[in-house]
Structure 1
Amino acid sequence: MSLNIEPKEVFNWFYELNQIPRESGNEKEVSDFLVAFAKDRNLEVIQDEEYNVIIKKPGTEGYENSQTVIIQGHMDMVCVKTENSNHNFDTDPIEMVVDGEFLRAKDTTLGADDGIAVAYALAILDSDDLSHPPLEVLITTNEETGMDGAAAIKDGMLKGTRLLNIDSEEEGIFLVSCAGGATAEVEFKIEREDFKGEVLEISVKGLLGGHSGSEIIRQRANANKLMGRILNEIRKAAQIRIISITGGIKHNAIPSDAKVKIVVDNGEKVKEIVKEFEKQLKAEYRVEDGGLTVIIEDAQYSKPYTEQLTSNFIDYSVVIPDGVISMSKDIDGLVETSLNNAVIEEFEDVLKYTTSVRSSSASELQYVLNVLEIAAEKCRGSFEITNSYPAWQFEEESEVRDKALQTYKDLFGEEATYDAIHAGLECGLLKGVLPDCDMISYGPNIFDAHSPTERMEIKSAQKMWKFTKELLKNLK
């Protein structure tokens, strides 16, 4: 089977990729698939301990002595599904649907971020009739959960002096700089005590969510923050204990749902409070998140958190900032600093709140982390930075950028532009081992990445395939 979309040399490989489970942290099978692909074509291949794959191909006739070009993307994908989906990301292939001008998945993320880069790379490696310099195709792992794959690339593994990162989502805009970031985890020790009252379950649903870098500027609602506000409203008028609470699933996805089970001393009053507050939240987010819904219903009792833990957690949830903190002073419309209160999860004896912070300013990034640390300390939680990655700094001179802009104009008769992005790209880490490498990032139009409504514009994917081939030809 295949998608029956042109160019078939690209979309057939994209189809093959989406038959293989490739959630971040579960990449061995797809990594082995890439290694087998290279060996079947007698191409030099390296697979490291992180399952990163590097495939090398000599330059074609007339390009044998050209400088090596690195084509780079990541094999993993964010795995998010709708509430009613039975999809199992550990075993099931992605079910793809051609929907007019777009390719999407049935009730799950599509994996075009960043499967389309891998598909382009495989099509280039598989071709015998494309003109190109010597190539090093670098396909990394764990990009979506902390860029662990890119962080594992060491000096000497790559020789290329020009790098094409195919991991951006807006055609015609070449990225030349990106934000740095860090992931902060705050843990609360779970202690429980009996509390008599009525048991209720509250769910926040219907939010759009989306990528916490590129979509954060849209000011969409964050389910975890809304839940904190709801709990705070309840405790103003009732005694409350939390039994359990969860929200969000990925550090880099704006949480679209959250759920809490509580014990209260006056169930009817709390139901009235919640329904009234739902009206206020709907009005507040009527533009950004019109589907916002808060559901409250009766539930079964189990021993709740202590009064102190309940209070501390609500305090922390309310006082921490969320969303856009500041805008760039240099580039109109670019977010400089933001945070996404991404995941609330409960383990046997620990309640953990994970926040992703991004900034193109190292000092402001540190400031926001300090705010979180102080809030955690005041609320009796433990604070830890579990991951960080550097920004990718803009460079005034770039031959690759100039050739990309000219190639795009020559092919399509349109002016392309270059920009920075408020998201992390692996270019920042790869610059550490390739300081003199000339880099750009680009890709086809992909909408609502990291959400079940992710979709890729087919025409744009076709154009960027044509562009990639022509750019390689021009990088002689």
Structure 2
Amino acid sequence: MHPKTRKILEIFEEINKIPRCSKHEERLSLWLQEWGRSRGFEVKTDAVKNVLIKVPATPGYENSPGIVLQGHMDMVCEKSKDSKHDFYRDPIRCVYDGDWLKGDETSIGADNGIALAIGMALSEAGKNREIEHPPLELLFTVDEETGLTGAMGLEKGFVEGRTLLNMDSEDEGLFLVGCAGGKNSRITLPLEWESFEYGKECRFGLFKLMVEGLEGGHSGVEIHRQRANAIQLFARVYSGLREKVGKQCVSLVLLSGGTTHNAIPYFTDAFLALDRAKFEQAEKLVSEFGTTFRSEYAKTDPELVLSFREVENGVVFENSGGKVTRKEVTPNLVFSTGTEEKLLKLLLALPHGVYRLSDRIPGLVETSNNLATVRTGENEITIITNQRSSVMSRLAEITGKVEAAAKLAGAAVVQEADYPAWEPNLESVLLSKCRQVYLQTFEKEPGIEVVHAGLECGVIGSKYEGMEIISLGPTIRDPHSPAERIFIPSIERVWIFLVNLLKSYR
């Protein structure tokens, strides 16, 4: 392992000792400030706890243009259903598996903790005169994953440099030069309850239907993989149950699916009141749906599982941003028939997946929607969808379709977390320099792409006039999921490239 890769990973493991789920980065913000001051660097923060660490140029680079190295502090906190990990108290355990680094049944936070570690290692190396570089600003933002609110909160004059290296990309050797804009739709469907007798001594029992084992993944960069959506699969199964066993023989008691707006939902839990006399028929039907789904998604979700069994108590643990909430079923109450019909029609009607491919850049997903989460409240069912597009008019179009489907079902809709697209500039001086340095360093051309995900680049670029931006980073797979992992050799290549790029600014 390259000695600087080892140093970067040591810093990354220190970062992973500090809880940093989105909107809970306070401790990490303070730790970063202390890290900068202890090394003699100028440090400042702002009202939303973004951190800026100013690193002086090495000798001979004092008059070079300032470079901003940027990453975000927060992470998507996901874990396997059996994990006991508490993201708000426990350090994340790093597991080395050959050339890969992963978590212990949790997301590891390489998105985007590795960016912080690389920036800090570069600064220390410059201070120790191991590398040469222009004036650097380490810009570490908060709350990127739940709406880019850290970048949104940046104030005029907080950053001086006009060359930004965003390190939130996930494929080494690929430079991102544009990204999608996006917004969330919060759909609220009124929930009407009906009294209903079910339990041990009743004709009707409480049953649990689970859709699990799906791949999930990032709702932007992996939406084109056409992976299964657990909420949609549930809707298909339950619609079939109501049709085959009879609406009078089965009722919903509680529904919970997905974890966060920017992750494809990989599981859904539902509790049903079912006539025990219909159990064998229902079990057979669920098994048939399972066979159908495994055939449909054999390539994308080979571990897909449907399970159906009677239970004595109904409890789900809802994970949102690493915070787990325990929720019990409401005794002897079920969804009204009218509520069920509206809910199922809505879940089946809401778009999910790729909506439109770009007609300018081959292979680019231009517009998509992620049917992300569903939750049962006391008097309402809440559904979150996440729309993305690199064309803002198309973003309005797909958002309008989501809103129309919701309103036809009698639901209310509120739009949240709106952020702009980052339109590519293929003529930028920064891009030209990065391509030249990469070619000289590795004797191959880098890839140039626009990504179907929200990056802070668009927000930062809109706040600071004249900012040239490029996004890069080491190779990360399955971000926003318990399978998240980082390819260790790619860290060395990013390090070597950045050292050569910074040196080229004399």
TM-score tier by shorter-chain length is over 0.9
Distance 1:22 1:396 in 2: 35
Amino acid at match of 1:405: R
1:34 matched to 2:32 = yes
1:225 matched to 2:232 = yes
> What's the counterpart of residue 18 of structure 1?
16
> What's the counterpart of residue 243 of structure 2?
236
> What's the counterpart of residue 460 of structure 2?
430
SS at 2:300 equivalent = coil
1:321: Cα distance to partner? 1.1
Identity score, percent:
38
Answer with 347-356 or 245-254: which moved more: 347-356
1:210: Cα distance to partner? 0.7
Distance 1:49 1:157 in 2: 11
* Residue from 66, 69, 83 that aligns with 1:68: 66
Residue-by-residue CA offset, 1:247-292 (whole Å, 9 max, x unaligned):
1111111111111111234333222221111111111111111111
Distance 2:260 2:133 in 1: 38
Distance 1:4 1:108 in 2: 26
Distance 2:39 2:174 in 1: 34
CA contact (8 A) 2:2 2:492 kept: no
> What's the counterpart of residue 261 of structure 1?
271
Distance 1:230 1:302 in 2: 23
- Say if 1:5 and 1:378 are closer, same or farther in 2 by CA, change over 3 A: farther
Residue-by-residue CA offset, 1:22-58 (whole Å, 9 max, x unaligned):
1111100001000111111221111222111111122
Distance 1:232 1:475 in 2: 62
- Normalising by structure 2, we get a TM-score of 0.91
- Normalising by structure 1, we get a TM-score of 0.97
Distance 2:3 2:89 in 1: 25
Distance 1:96 1:57 in 2: 29
Give the RMSD, CA atoms, in angstroms.
1.5
* Residue from 289, 302, 312 that aligns with 2:301: 289
Distance 2:192 2:306 in 1: 27
* Residue from 469, 472, 475 that aligns with 1:439: 469
Distance 1:5 1:455 in 2: 20
1:252 matched to 2:250 = no
Amino acid at match of 2:14: E
> What's the counterpart of residue 140 of structure 2?
139
CA contact (8 A) 2:185 2:384 kept: yes
CA contact (8 A) 1:261 1:299 kept: no
Distance 1:6 1:133 in 2: 20
Amino acid at match of 2:81: E
Distance 1:314 1:394 in 2: 40
Distance 1:355 1:373 in 2: 10
Distance 1:382 1:41 in 2: 52
CA contact (8 A) 1:45 1:55 kept: yes
1:341: Cα distance to partner? 0.8
Runs of 4+ with >4 A deviation: 3-6
Mapping of 1:241-390 within 5 angstroms? 241-265=251-275, 266-300=278-312, 302-390=332-420
1:415 matched to 2:445 = yes
Amino acid at match of 2:292: Q
SS at 2:95 equivalent = strand
CA contact (8 A) 1:54 1:137 kept: yes
Residue-by-residue CA offset, 1:49-79 (whole Å, 9 max, x unaligned):
2111111122111111111111100011111
> What's the counterpart of residue 428 of structure 2?
398
1:6: Cα distance to partner? 4.8
Distance 2:19 2:397 in 1: 38
Distance 1:364 1:227 in 2: 29
Mapping of 1:185-204 within 5 angstroms? 185-196=186-197, 197-204=204-211
Answer with 221-230 or 27-36: which moved more: 221-230
Distance 2:220 2:214 in 1: 17
1:184 matched to 2:194 = no
- Say if 1:36 and 1:427 are closer, same or farther in 2 by CA, change over 3 A: same
SS at 1:304 equivalent = strand
- Say if 1:43 and 1:6 are closer, same or farther in 2 by CA, change over 3 A: closer
> What's the counterpart of residue 326 of structure 2?
none
SS at 2:383 equivalent = strand
1:450 matched to 2:487 = no
* Residue from 220, 223, 231 that aligns with 1:213: 220
Distance 2:9 2:105 in 1: 20
1:241: Cα distance to partner? 2.2
- Say if 1:4 and 1:438 are closer, same or farther in 2 by CA, change over 3 A: closer
CA contact (8 A) 1:200 1:267 kept: no
CA contact (8 A) 1:232 1:318 kept: no
CA contact (8 A) 1:21 1:90 kept: yes
CA contact (8 A) 2:146 2:417 kept: no
